[in-house]
Amino acid sequence: MAKKENKEWFDWIKALLLALALAFIVRMFFFAPIVVDGPSMQPTLHDRDQMIVNKFSYNFQEPERFDIVVFHASAQKDFIKRVIGLPGEHVAVEDNVLYIDGEAVEEPFLDEQKNKMKPYETSTSDFLLEELPGGHEVIPEGHVFVLGDNRGNSTDSRMLGVIPMEQIVGKTNLVYWPFDRIQIIGKEEE
């Protein structure tokens, strides 16, 4: 009888260790939670929104324009921003209009903000890529240019420079908390 109980305990311990190992592997290599910290992605994301980061999607594909990504801004801090420029592109903003390689690009996720502005207000100060940290004429290979949706209150590539791909943790588009904000932010909403 004692042998049977010991075997049963051993089986439970093995199952628990296996579950913990699987959870660790999934968390480490595939998905991770993140909490939005601050207003830099409003109105798309709100302070304290909780999201899931897909850590493996960029192993199979390159980032696309307007993906929302999490990246290591420093050893202690991760930022969440939107990919605006891709390798080989020139980025500029003039009079609240985004230009990629000299062509105007619509940013539908900013429409709500732009509609609320007075004619003399700007949400994004004018800039040229070459005037920003790094002084690049085009975004180098293996890098992306990111901006927060709340352009007037965001630390992004305008201050940090272009972001190396190896600093990107992953892509995120699923808000799972708070309950009233549960949503998948997809290309159709952008």
Strands 68-72 and 78-85: antiparallel
Which of 7, 57, 74, 81 is catalytic? The answer is 81
What's the rounded Cα separation, in Å, for the pair 168 and 140?
15
Is 74 noted as a catalytic residue in this protein?
no
CA R_g for the chain: 21
**What sign results for the dihedral spanned by CA atoms 156, 148, 99, 168?**
positive
Which of 4, 7, 40, 125 is catalytic? The answer is 40
Is 81 noted as a catalytic residue in this protein?
yes
- Kindly report the backbone phi and psi dihedral angles of residue 12, in degrees, each rounded to the nearest multiple of 5, phi listed first: -65, -45
What's the rounded Cα separation, in Å, for the pair 97 and 143?
22
The catalytic residues are 40, 81
